[in-house]
């Protein structure tokens, strides 16, 4: 206790209060009796927070610490980008060269794909983790050749360089190029030329069989309880998501980039690429590059079985935030939580919205079509007497009125203030966590028709209860409470189902629907209608 008091006495009063606020946020987000996170918030040379919250191992009740080692997921991509830039500096790779120069056996995709396109996510190569077969195949140990064969002969999603689409396959190929050019395995190259050089003593390539001191176990939220996360062979994430590290090692990495790469390479890494139409991809070489509360921010999050992570660096403010969590499914989402910590450290106040009860007649005045300055349209409508928003025909999200006059999306940090003139609603302003304010003008056209669910006999609803399986790693459990069906997919939140007929239900909150299948009067499965696809799940319980 004496040491703690001395720390607060030596810090400015404003910092002492800030530390208390940040610590309270972390304790609330990551309770002590479940999986949690190691958190580092550093401003200049001062560690505002460097602490573990929750458990590294729930079975042995071992707490997390700043020395705990986590799978960092896609934060790996910045190490792959740096490794490639080291080879560029050595004259062994050119970013604008066709990848088949270094991988001559790779099938001709019909268009030139450069090394830079791989690192900038503009290659058009399909993302293997989005493929329907991935949940079933992720447990398999596979060679480089077996992995690349998954997508190498598939059509490109777009002409290389013309669009942006996140692709783990592209980063996998970048790792293969690093091996071919350097003559070293990817893991050996990164460990020798980055980890050892920078003194990152608790960072590793994620070999499952290796004994790693202080390694955290990963957990998933499934059917209302924590479970050990599903196994994934680390031959699969490879150069796209295989690295293990700690918050302190990631701080060492961020702060010592000038000792690793030349200034021009660092500038290249943190330069967001633009497409031919002039649009900004907000992605450099292994880093997201964006504005956050008026300052340039370099960040990347990561998600892999049992873990979700984020690193944020805001050089202008000398601010670094790292959150490494040993839980997946966004409970909470490290990326959003890390941004909250950064925003509060930069002086922002995050409102705590409390829902206000309003009738459908009172909410009707907000219904309409709103046209953002950035283009597109955001519909505001009524669903069973509550507001929802839908951007450009995408997912539908509940929008709740708050007692302070704002409107908020449950579970999100962004909120809405409707703009009025002479007592009429003329527009809406979305206040975002990163400090942006997006204005949308209300159009003259009528808003969407109200969505009202139909009554279904509770006896019929009971027949839909059960567990439905798409793959062994993706199931949907349907439950019934107070005459309302609910659906919860593996590692996802629970959603209400609104009946459109006896067999078809709208998934409230997202752009999806479920149709139940029957045979000889018995429910045998469901069809998930989402994103233009129909996926059949069989009832297994």
Q: Among 405, 360, 411, 365, which residue's Cα sits nearest to residue 386? A: 360
User: Which residues lie across from 451 on neighbouring strands?
Assistant: 383
300 & 423 share domain: no
What is the SS3 assignment for 302?
Answer: strand
234 & 334 share domain: yes
Domain count, the chain: 3
74 & 135 share domain: yes
Residue 68 CB: number of other CB atoms within 10 A? 23
pLDDT tens profile 68-118 = 999 999 999 999 999 999 999 999 999 999 999 999 999 999 999 999 999
Locate 151 and state its tokens. 């997508």
Peptide bond before 332: cis, by omega within 30 degrees of 0?
A: yes
- Domain boundary residue, one of 293, 318, 345: 345
Q: If pLDDT is split at 50, 70 and 90, which confidence band does 9 have?
A: very low
Among residues of the chain, what percentage have pLDDT more than 90? 79
d(CA 70, CA 82): 20
330 & 198 share domain: yes
In a domain, 11, yes or no: no
* pLDDT score for 14: 66
190 & 274 share domain: yes
268 & 303 share domain: yes
305 & 400 share domain: no
Provide Rg for the chain, Cα atoms.
25
**Start-to-end C-alpha separation, the chain:** 53
Average pLDDT over residues 125-135: 87
Output DSSP code: residue 22: H
- Domain boundary residue, one of 442, 472, 507: 442
Q: Among 324, 333, 118, 328, which residue's Cα sits nearest to residue 232? A: 328
179 & 290 share domain: yes
Average pLDDT over residues 380-399: 87
In a domain, 437, yes or no: yes
Q: Is the pLDDT of residue 534 over 90?
A: no
272 & 249 share domain: yes
321 & 386 share domain: no
pLDDT tens profile 282-336 = 999 999 999 999 999 999 999 999 999 999 999 999 999 999 999 987 678 899 9
How many whole angstroms from its chain centre is CA 316? 25
From residue 126, alpha-carbon distances to 123, 132, 273, 374, 537 in Å are: 9, 12, 19, 28, 24
Q: If pLDDT is split at 50, 70 and 90, which confidence band does 410 have?
A: confident
In a domain, 34, yes or no: no
In a domain, 38, yes or no: no
pLDDT tens profile 204-253 = 999 989 999 999 999 998 767 899 999 999 999 999 999 999 999 999 99
In a domain, 482, yes or no: yes
What stretches of 30-122 show up as alpha helix (H) in DSSP? 76-89, 115-120
Q: Are the C-beta atoms of residues 343 and 293 closer than 8 Å to each other?
A: yes
In a domain, 65, yes or no: no
Cα angle for residues 418, 297, 19 (degrees, 5° grid): 85
Q: If pLDDT is split at 50, 70 and 90, which confidence band does 411 have?
A: confident
- Domain boundary residue, one of 390, 418, 442: 442
**Element at 462 (helix H, strand E):** helix 458-463
In a domain, 49, yes or no: no
Q: Among 379, 312, 391, 392, which residue's Cα sits nearest to residue 345? A: 312
* pLDDT score for 531: 67
Q: Which residue has the tokens 């930069």?
A: 346
Q: Which residue has the tokens 């703690």?
A: 4
390: CATH: 2.40.128.50
Owning domain of residue 92: 70-345
d(CA 122, CA 142): 26
431 & 475 share domain: no
> How confident is the prediction for the chain on average, in pLDDT?
92
328: CATH: 3.40.710.10
Higher pLDDT pick, 1 / 431? 431
Q: Among 183, 184, 177, which residue's Cα sits nearest to residue 93? A: 177
232 & 305 share domain: yes
In a domain, 152, yes or no: yes
């Amino acid at each position: 206790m004496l040491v703690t008091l001395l720390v607060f006495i030596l810090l400015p009063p404003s910092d002492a209060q800030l530390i208390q606020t940040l610590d309270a946020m972390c304790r609330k987000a990551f309770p002590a009796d479940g999986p949690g996170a190691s958190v580092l918030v550093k401003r200049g040379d001062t560690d505002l927070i460097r602490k573990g919250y929750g458990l590294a191992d729930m079975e042995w009740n071992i707490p997390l610490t700043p020395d705990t080692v986590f799978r960092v997921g896609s934060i790996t991509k910045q190490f792959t980008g740096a490794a490639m830039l080291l080879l560029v500096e050595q004259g062994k790779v050119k970013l604008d060269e066709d990848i088949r120069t270094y991988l001559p056996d790779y099938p001709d995709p019909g268009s030139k794909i450069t090394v830079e396109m791989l690192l900038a996510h503009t290659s058009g190569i399909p993302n293997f983790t989005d493929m329907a077969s991935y949940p079933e195949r992720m447990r398999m140990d596979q060679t480089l050749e077996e992995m690349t064969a998954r997508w190498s002969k598939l059509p490109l999603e777009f002409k290389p360089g013309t669009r942006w689409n996140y692709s783990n396959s592209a980063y996998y190929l970048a790792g293969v190029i690093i091996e071919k050019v350097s003559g070293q395995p990817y893991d050996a190259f990164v460990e020798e030329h980055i980890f050892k050089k920078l003194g990152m003593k608790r960072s590793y390539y994620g070999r499952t069989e290796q004994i790693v001191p202080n390694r955290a176990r990963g957990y998933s939220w499934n059917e209302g309880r924590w479970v050990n996360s599903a196994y994934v062979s680390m031959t699969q994430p490879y150069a796209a998501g295989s690295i293990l590290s700690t918050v302190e090692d990631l701080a060492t990495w961020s702060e010592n980039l000038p000792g690793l790469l030349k200034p021009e390479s660092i500038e290249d890494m943190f330069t967001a690429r633009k497409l031919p139409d002039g649009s900004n991809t907000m992605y450099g070489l292994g880093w997201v590059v964006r504005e956050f509360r008026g300052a340039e921010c370099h960040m990347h999050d990561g998600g892999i079985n049992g873990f979700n992570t984020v690193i944020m660096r805001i050089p202008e403010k000398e601010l670094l935030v790292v959150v490494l969590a040993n839980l997946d499914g966004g409970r909470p989402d490290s990326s959003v939580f890390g941004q909250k910590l950064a925003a509060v450290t930069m002086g922002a106040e995050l409102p705590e919205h409390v829902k206000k009860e309003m009738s459908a007649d009172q909410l009707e005045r907000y219904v309409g079509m709103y046209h953002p300055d950035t283009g597109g349209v955001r519909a505001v409508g009524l669903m069973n007497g509550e507001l929802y928003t839908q951007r450009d025909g995408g997912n539908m999200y509940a929008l709740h009125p708050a007692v302070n006059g704002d409107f908020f999306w449950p579970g999100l940090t962004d909120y809405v203030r409707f703009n009025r003139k002479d007592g009429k609603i003329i527009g809406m302003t979305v206040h975002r966590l990163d400090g942006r304010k997006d204005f949308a003008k209300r159009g003259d056209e009528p808003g969407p028709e109200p969505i009202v669910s139909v009554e279904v006999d509770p006896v019929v609803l009971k027949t839909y209860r059960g567990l439905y399986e798409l793959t062994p790693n993706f199931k949907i459990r349907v439950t019934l409470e107070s005459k309302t069906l609910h659906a919860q997919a593996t590692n996802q939140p629970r959603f209400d189902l609104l009946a459109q007929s006896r067999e078809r239900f709208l998934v409230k909150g997202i752009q999806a629907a479920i149709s139940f299948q029957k045979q000889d009067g018995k429910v045998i499965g469901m069809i998930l209608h989402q994103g233009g696809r129909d996926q059949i799940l069989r009832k297994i319980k």
